Each structure stands twice: as C-alpha cells, then as structure tokens.
C-alpha cells in the first residue's frame, strides 16, 4: 500500500538557513528514483541540485520558481510504494542529507532538461484529464499548498516550451516582470539569451517614458510653497542569493574590523620575464596569479600575524596553521571568492591548475559551499579591470587582503637610469587588531621585493 512522504529542504551546510528555488527538475506525476535531483536551488554560496531521498511518484510541489524557502520547509511529497513507482516504503536515500537517513545505494541520476517531455506515472485516460475549470483552479492554487493539492504545470508557448537554459536569464526576466513567452531568442534554435531579455527591458522602458515626455506640461502659475520632491523612479533589485550574501559580509567587515591600507609601487619587469622563461621551457603554463600566490604564501610564513582571525568573545587573536588562499573572481552572478586549500603546500604549477579549475566552476556557477568558505587570506587581482589601485574590504573573518593593480609600462629609475619598466601597484588592507603598521609594511615590502627580484623568493625557500 502506498503512503506519502514529505521531503523538506535539507540543511545544505555552512550554516545556510534558506535557499531560492531556481528551477524545478520534476513535475507532479513524475516517477523519481532515489537520489534523483528534483530541484535546482541557489543559496548564498552557490547553485546546487537537491536530490530526493525517496523513490516514488511526485504528488505535490511546494513553491514557485523564484520563491525563497527556509531550511526545513516542505519541498515536495512523494507517494512511496505505489504500483506505478515500483519501489517499497523502506527504501532510503544513498545521499547523506541532514534529517534523512541512508540505506540503499544511490540510483543513477537523471537530469530533466528544459523542454524535455516528462513521464507521468499514471496512464492517461479520458477520465483522468482535467476540465478547463479544474485546470484554472489548479493554476490559482499552485504556490506552496500545504494540503497536497496537485500544482499546475508551467505555461508553455503555443508552439512548445520556452527555449531558455540559463537560470540567470529566467531570474532577470522574473524580477522585471517580463514574460519569456513573448520573446524570440537570438541564440541557436531560438534560444533566449540574456541580451534578448535586456533588450526587451530597455525597449519597454523607452516606450513607457516616451509618452510621459510628450504630455508633460509647464506649470502655468507660481506656487506659494515648493512641492515635496518626488521619489526618483528606478528598478528595485532584491539583495538575496550571492548578491545578498556579499552585502551582508562586506557590511559586517566594515562594522567589526578596524582596517587600514598601505601600498607601494613595484617594478614587475623581472617577474614577467621569469614567467615568460618558465612557460617557454614547456610543460603546463604558469599563470601570473599563481606566481603572486606563491609570493603571498612565502610572505605569510615570515609574517604569520596576517594569516589569522580575531575571536572577540575570547579576546584572542588566532594565528592559523594552514593558508587557505581565497581569490576574488567576478562572474555574471556577482563577486565570488573561491578558496585554494593548503595553498602553502603547492608549487606554482599546482596553484595554476587549481586557479583554473575553480575559475571555471565560478564561471559556470557550479562552485560548492565548501569551495567558497574557509579562506584565511585573500588575493585580489583587480588589475584585470584596468585599474591601478584600490582599498578593498577585508573578507570577514580574515585579517588581510593583498590587492594587485594592472601591470603597465611606466617611467622608472632602473640601475641609476630612467627607463620604461613594467610597474604594478600593490596594496595591503589589514586588520589593525592583529598587527601594527610595521608588520603590515614588512609584509608588503617583502612581496614587492619578490616581485622586483624573484630570486629573493628562491633565497628564502
């Protein structure tokens, strides 16, 4: 005999308390296998697919795409042990989710792609087809019903499903009230791209503002008192997901950390020459970021105060034994800081490979919460934006961040003569509670010396 089990949003780790539904991967009536991903959610750390620990028939979903749910809220219900499902009630998940046990080995996962027809568990008979009135009622009752009502499927174009793959495109349209079914994409096979949505939004804004400009009339008579200023119009963008997490973290950093910044210009000509020689020798290419990271880890060995955190409750500075190096990466979803674990144990080649792997994961939105947390020091290469300097905000609860500007030819006194050299500005923002300016200046000077004369690094290894 079948019975219905409720699957709740599990604790996804790292202290996260909520997640936003980005895309449902199953429909009501689908047969799901144990550990099959059923929904794609966005947390404050990353985009993740959530597997269902039960096998059976989906009887209800809770929450529209774009809805934020707290951990522990119902996600969906599954009829377990139904004849159509072919599973029994005692089968459990192979995945470890907080609040759900493990039993059977994980089943093969199958991801439902946008536009792919779904398979219904029950046979389609004339008696099972809903009437027009029932369909309309189900559409109204769709959001988060607690009574287990079957939800209506998402509306489709007359000629088929909306051709959208990117959840970012869906979100941009949803937050601005744009119906994707009205667009024709410029991508392959009519795929709707972000540029299509942005163009549609600009067109809609222009059509609304133009009549206002035509019908505006001058005031015929003076007024006795100035009218109150009107609130400027604009688009409201919710601070949630990664953008919200960044806002919270940076605000906390500025509230709690008494930071200070020092900077220095350095001649990076020899460092660039060394990198060119290393890559000319064959083998995997060494990135500039990897060489700077190698210099950072060596500097932190000499100045361990900057690889620490502050415990204000215990009123202690905690010096950390491992260097987990974060690096700032700008993506379409916002600023993220992936973390290279045990960076102090890696050589330049290993660092290059790890930076490349994490950067690609950041670009595709597949970084896990564990890859975005636990950093002890951050390297911020803002030179890629074409700027020379910056005073970055420390990545709380770390104690320091090294900023690197662009490397450009500039006049420089070299060996007593004026010459054109490749110059970079380095800045260090540090928590003044962990050290004074002498330590911070010593760290930054050592980094600059290694940039100017890479042999300095070899002598100190």
Residues classed as catalytic: 432, 436
Which regions of 237-384 does DSSP assign to beta strands (E)?
259-267, 308-311, 316-319, 325-327, 329-331, 334-336, 339-340, 377-380
First to last CA, the chain: 69
Whether 81 contacts 87, CB under 8 Å? yes
Say how far apart CA 187 and CA 285 lie, in whole Å. 33
CA torsion, ordered 145, 147, 150, 152, to nearest 10 deg? -20
Structure token pair of residue 325: 């190096």
Residue 294 is given by DSSP the state H
The dihedral through the CA atoms of 99, 102, 103, 108 has a sign that is positive
**Quick one: how far is CA 178 from the chain centroid?**
23
Phi and psi (nearest 5°) for 198? -65, -40
Whether 300 contacts 344, CB under 8 Å? yes
Show the CA angle centred on residue 392, arms to residues 390 and 398, nearest 5°: 150
Structure token pair of residue 149: 């009502």
The reply to whether omega before 401 is within 30° of 0 (cis) is: no
Whether 306 contacts 443, CB under 8 Å? yes
Neighbours of 152 (CB within 10 A): 18
Say how far apart CA 208 and CA 213 lie, in whole Å. 10
Say how far apart CA 360 and CA 383 lie, in whole Å. 19
Whether 267 contacts 422, CB under 8 Å? yes
Task: Name the strands in the sheet holding 31-32, side by side, starting at the edge strand that comes first in the sequence.
Answer: 3-8, 74-80, 56-61, 31-32
């Amino acid at each position: 005999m079948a019975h219905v089990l409720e699957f709740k949003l599990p604790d996804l780790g790292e202290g996260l308390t909520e997640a936003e539904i980005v895309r449902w991967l199953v429909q009501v009536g689908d047969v799901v296998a144990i550990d099959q991903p059923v929904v794609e959610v966005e947390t404050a750390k990353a985009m993740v697919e959530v597997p269902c620990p039960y096998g059976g028939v989906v009887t209800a979903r809770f929450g529209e795409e774009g809805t934020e749910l707290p951990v522990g809220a119902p996600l969906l219900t599954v009829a377990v042990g139904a004849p159509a499902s072919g599973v029994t009630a005692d089968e459990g998940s192979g995945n470890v989710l907080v609040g759900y046990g493990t039993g059977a080995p994980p089943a093969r996962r199958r991801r439902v792609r946008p536009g792919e027809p779904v398979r219904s568990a029950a046979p389609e008979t004339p008696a099972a087809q809903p009437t027009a009135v029932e369909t309309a009622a189900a559409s109204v009752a769709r959001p988060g019903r607690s009574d287990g009502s079957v939800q209506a499927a998402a509306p489709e174009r007359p000629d088929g499903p909306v051709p959208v793959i990117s959840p970012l495109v869906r979100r941009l349209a949803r937050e601005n009230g744009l119906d994707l079914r009205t667009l024709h994409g410029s991508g392959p096979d009519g795929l709707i791209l972000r540029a299509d949505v942005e163009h549609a939004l600009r067109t809609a804004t222009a059509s609304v503002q133009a009549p206002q400009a035509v019908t505006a009339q001058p005031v015929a008579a003076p007024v006795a008192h100035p009218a109150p200023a009107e609130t400027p119009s604009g688009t409201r963008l919710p601070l949630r997901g990664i953008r919200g997490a960044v806002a919270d973290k940076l605000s906390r950093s500025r509230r709690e950390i008494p930071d200070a910044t020092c900077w220095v210009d350095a001649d990076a000509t020899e460092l660039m020459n060394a990198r060119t020689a290393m890559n000319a020798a064959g083998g995997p290419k060494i990135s500039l970021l990897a060489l700077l990271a190698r210099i950072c880890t060596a500097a932190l060995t000499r100045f361990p105060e900057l690889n620490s955190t502050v415990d204000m409750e215990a009123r202690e500075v905690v010096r950390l034994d491992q260097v987990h190096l974060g690096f700032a990466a700008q993506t379409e979803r916002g600023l993220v800081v992936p973390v290279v674990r045990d960076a102090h144990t890696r050589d330049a080649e290993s660092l290059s490979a790890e930076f490349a792997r994490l950067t690609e994961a950041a670009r595709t939105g597949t970084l896990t919460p564990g890859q975005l947390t636990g950093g002890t020091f951050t390297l911020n290469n803002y030179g890629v934006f074409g700027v020379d300097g910056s005073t970055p905000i420390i990545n709380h609860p770390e104690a320091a961040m090294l900023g690197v500007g662009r490397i450009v030819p500039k006049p420089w006194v070299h060996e007593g003569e004026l010459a054109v050299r490749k110059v970079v500005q380095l800045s260090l923002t540090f928590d003044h509670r962990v050290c004074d300016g002498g330590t911070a200046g010593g760290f930054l000077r050592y980094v600059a010396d290694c940039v100017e004369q890479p042999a300095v690094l070899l002598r100190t290894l």
